[in-house]
Amino acid sequence: MKLSAEHLSYQIEGKEILRDISLTFPEGKRTAIIGPNGAGKSTLLRLLAGLIKPSQGKILLDGRDIQAIGRQKLAQNLAVLPQGASAPPDTTVRRLVDYGRFPYRSYFRAGNPQYDRKAVEWAMTVTQVKDFESRQVASLSGGERQRAFLAMALAQQPEILLLDEPTTYLDIAHQLEVMQIIREVNERYGMTVIMVLHDINHALQYADEAVVLANHRVVSQGRPDKVISVGLLADVFGVRAERFVNEQGRTVLSPTALVDTMKR
């Protein structure tokens, strides 16, 4: 399914957050949304997920305005893991992951227990949370917790997965673990992934496409190694950086200093 934004703007309390954004996210690919703090990345992700409504413009799923698609139907196609997601007290991992099946149940319709169970098992296996499925979410380490929430989103079996800074607060090993799970669900199961990333090098390594937000607008979109350059880091983030090509032939950018603001 194709997700796109058309002339999307968002203001809150008279303050402009996003202005006239038109974007198409490539199907079956991993897109990273990057940009400085306050650029509007989380807001864009929340708009794409239908969690908030645009002030102007629309978001289209296969050409249909998501505002016209029911909440449950939308959640069967699109799952979102917002920043700082929290679980109700006394929730076990299995229970949390099972919440991911809500789009398939309703007051009138119990869902299909066998299918639900299979989806929950699959999501727990992919994210490797089965070993601690009976533990309370509140007792988990940061890495375990993030995988459990990722499992909940995957249990929705969406075609499109939206993630807001999925590696925040994780150490480097656990960051890689999460990025690898994201890559696997994309490559093996064909899920389209759209993720806000704060780490430029993660965007270079794990995304097929980069969207750069700055000053309320999209300033660039394209292949990460074309878009994310020393020049972009200077212009958009205000940092000087050195560019390397690592042993795997990938571009790595190393920030070295703040750009002299007098010269900007």
Among positions 4, 9, 11, 42, the unique one binding ligand ADP when judged by CB under 6 A = 42
Answer whether 200's CB lies under 8 Å from 24's CB: no
Task: Identify the CA nearest to 123 among candidates 83, 92, 153.
Answer: 153
35 binds ligand ADP (CB under 6 A): yes
Q: How far is the CB of 47 from ligand ADP (least distance, A)?
A: 9
Report d(CA 196, CA 3) in Å as an integer.
15
192 binds ligand ADP (CB under 6 A): no
Give the DSSP per-residue string, 137-169: GGGS-HHHHHHHHHHHHHHT--SEEEEESTTTT
Answer whether 54's CB lies under 8 Å from 11's CB: no
Task: Give strand pairing partners of 10.
Answer: 18
Task: Count the residues of the shown chain that bind ligand ADP, applying the rule CB under 6 A.
Answer: 11
39 binds ligand ADP (CB under 6 A): yes
224 binds ligand ADP (CB under 6 A): no
φ/ψ of 194, rounded to 5, equals -125, 115
238 binds ligand ADP (CB under 6 A): no
Quick one: tokens of 207?
């995304």
In the bound state with ligand ADP, the residue whose beta carbon lies nearer, of 84 and 89, is: 84
Span interacting with ligand ADP, options 35-43, 117-125, 221-229, 235-243, rule CB under 6 A: 35-43
93 binds ligand ADP (CB under 6 A): no
In the bound state with ligand ADP, the residue whose beta carbon lies nearer, of 157 and 220, is: 220
Report d(CA 41, CA 157) in Å as an integer.
24
Span interacting with ligand ADP, options 31-39, 94-102, 246-254, 255-263, rule CB under 6 A: 31-39
Q: How far is the CB of 136 from ligand ADP (least distance, A)?
A: 29
What is the maximum alpha-carbon separation in the chain? Answer: 64
Secondary structure class of 58 (helix, strand, coil):
strand
Among positions 8, 21, 23, 40, the unique one binding ligand ADP when judged by CB under 6 A = 40
In the bound state with ligand ADP, the residue whose beta carbon lies nearer, of 153 and 236, is: 236
Going by the DSSP 8-state scheme, the letter that residue 52 receives in this structure is S
Chain contacts with ligand ADP (rule: CB under 6 A): 12-13, 17, 35, 37-43
